[in-house]
Each structure stands twice: as structure tokens, then as C-alpha cells.
A and B are shown apart, each in its own frame.
Chain A
């Protein structure tokens, strides 16, 4: 495995940890929703990169499904915060 991929995975892990800290700390519900959105985007990048590292094609499908489900979840949470649901 290449050294650049090591550095990228370390950076993505730190990014996920920072977003998770905001998810735990966040004062209001909207802050947690924003942190969850960013966390799911970081998760998509990490899944695709891990798919390349393990040489598994099925991880790409997994990332696509995770993107769709995370998008629908964020929209539902936003409508719920807005008290329009």
C-alpha cells in the first residue's frame, strides 16, 4: 500500500473524530444535524477509499446506497426541526 493512502486515511480519521466531537458537544439539535451530515459525507469518502485499498468493487455500491440514505435522513430531520412534519 502506498504511503499517500496511509496519510489520507489518517487525515480522514481525524476529520471523522472532529465531526463526532461536534456531534457530542453541539448545543442545539441543528448543530447535531449538521455534524451528522458532515459525518455521513466523510463516511462516503472513507468507504470508497477503503474499497480501493481492499480491492473490493462492492464497496462502491455500498457508498452509493449510504449517500442516498444519508440524504433522505438529513432532509427528514430538517423538516422535523422546522416543525413542518
Chain B
């Protein structure tokens, strides 16, 4: 039982450290990237993984709290990609062009088709 507790503690500390490193990398991407779409890519993916990993590590360190921690992890995994999708869509519709010029813009035709229908 003592050994199991020690293993759980080390695994939890590893997950907390990994998650904080990923949060730091996500924020660095937010600060350094040249363009809003790149910023969304760097910020959302890395920070989602970081927050999920930190919460999972705390849940392993303190196994009494594990149920509510799992609820938080599921909610972050559903809500954060959804909000980043809404932000990317909003910034495309408000007319921000990408920093690196695209050769193919597939979403442009979809927007035109929807506008023609209305």
C-alpha cells in the first residue's frame, strides 16, 4: 500500500510538471507567433493538453478528488476546441487575412455559397 502511494505521487508530480511545461509553451506560442491563426493553433492545442495534464496530476496526487477532476478534464476537452473554432470563424468573417499567403482557400467558396443562398 505504501509502495502504491509512492508510485501514485511520483506519477502525479510528473503529470503536473509536464502540464506546466505545456502551458508555458502554449503561452510562448501566443506571444511569439506572427498571426492570429498561428496563435490559435499554438495556444489552444498546447494549453488544452497542459490544463488537462495538470488537473490529472492533481487527481493522482489526491485520489479522493478524482471524480470532480475527471468532470473538469472532460469539460475542458469539449469546450476549449469549441471556443477556438468559434474564434477562428469569427476572425475569418471579420476579414483578417493570414500572414503567410494561402494558395487554396477552401472556406471562401463555402462563405460565398452561403451568402448566395440568403
Contact = CB atoms under 8 A, between A and B. Distances in A.
A binds B: yes
Interface of B is mostly: helix
B57 to A, nearest CB: 8
A41 B76 contact: yes
A22 B13 CA distance: 29
Given A8-B16, A31-B36, A82-B89, A19 B31 contact: yes
Contacts, number: 159
A9 B101 CA distance: 39
B47 A41 contact: yes
B68 A30 contact: no
Contact of A75 (B40, B69, B86): B86
B96 A48 contact: no
A78 to B, nearest CB: 4
Interface string A30-44: 110111011001101
Interface string B68-109: 110110011001101110110111011010000000000000
